[in-house]
Amino acid sequence: MPMSELIQRLEAAGVPLDDLTKFAMEDVDPANFTDFDLDPFWDDRPVPFLFTGFGATRTISAPHMIATLLHNLEIIEGQDIMLIGSKGGYLAAIIDRMVGKDGSVTIIEPHEEVREYTEERLSIHQSSGMIRVLRPHDMESSDESSRSFGRILITGSVREIPETIEHMVVDGGFVLGPFGGPVHQRLLKRERQGDMWFDTDLGGVVFGPMDVGESESGPLDPNSLANHIEDAFDLVGGLVEIEEDTSERVRALIRALREMPTDLPFIDEESTEEEIMEHPVVDLLMSEIDWLGPLWPIFSEFLSIDIASPGSEEEMPDFIGGHEDLVP
């Protein structure tokens, strides 16, 4: 059975898996949550479940990442757990098995197309307890906003805990998720103690953005490019010395990109060379080429990402806590 074999490989690689997690992963069939080929999944890689109408790819996380998230959620039977982002319903179905008949799973899915897909797939899942799929504005009602959770899992990268859910975390509870920009993220467990928050850093990760709109942006979307350059610049600046004049030029470029209008022409693989070269973003980058050119190879090196797959049959490296979950 593929899942049993995969779990054995994950355990051999040092991925933490307790009996409850193994039971739930073996009990929930990922084929019920995607129509795409599952071969990458069995090789411990993310697998798509949906291509949105605007071109974003939404994935079910790689099995080692799923196991890592479940381990760090510290799930026990009877808990009420919230997920921000549905991951197609697969992760929620596993958590549903783990919390059992006395527990519940509440999904907040901001993207309508993903939400409808998730509701459809979960409708055929024989839930153990209660699973709800809500829109963000559903949380504005008094009944929903007064709910509290000991565990909240954010399934896409964010820079901060959304204000709408901060007050829902019980004292002693925590939010788990990838915090950072598009390139540099840390998997953090942010625990609430009274009015204070305390972070536990669980390692470097690469998740797709929680905001699906960022995935749907074109390659020359100025705000997305600004975020990537800023993230890479922060990483580079921590490792090599960059002259102050160059640092200021990078900051000015980031500001200029973010100040660009939002209705720029869309560029894709069918765009002509002339359309690309006349694009305002390309024009801006070319105007800064004298100083940006020598720096760009360094940025590109940090913008390239290798995906870890400790449970793959082809590679069995020592698993030391760094996890990557790239959404292409």
* pLDDT value of position 323: 43
* pLDDT value of position 55: 66
| CATH code at 2-206 | 3.40.50.150
* pLDDT value of position 232: 76
Q: Name the pTM for this structure.
A: 0.75
Closest C-alpha to 155, from 95, 105, 109, 214: 109
Could you read off the pLDDT of 62-77 as tens digits, one per residue? Answer: 999 999 999 999 999 9
- Distance in angstroms (rounded) separating the CA atoms of residues 124 and 299: 45
Residues of the chain with pLDDT under 50: 215-216, 316-328
* pLDDT value of position 106: 96
* pLDDT value of position 143: 76
Could you read off the pLDDT of 187-227 as tens digits, one per residue? Answer: 999 999 999 999 999 998 878 788 755 544 556 678 878 87
Domain ranges of the chain: 2-206, 215-303
* pLDDT value of position 213: 55
* pLDDT value of position 64: 94
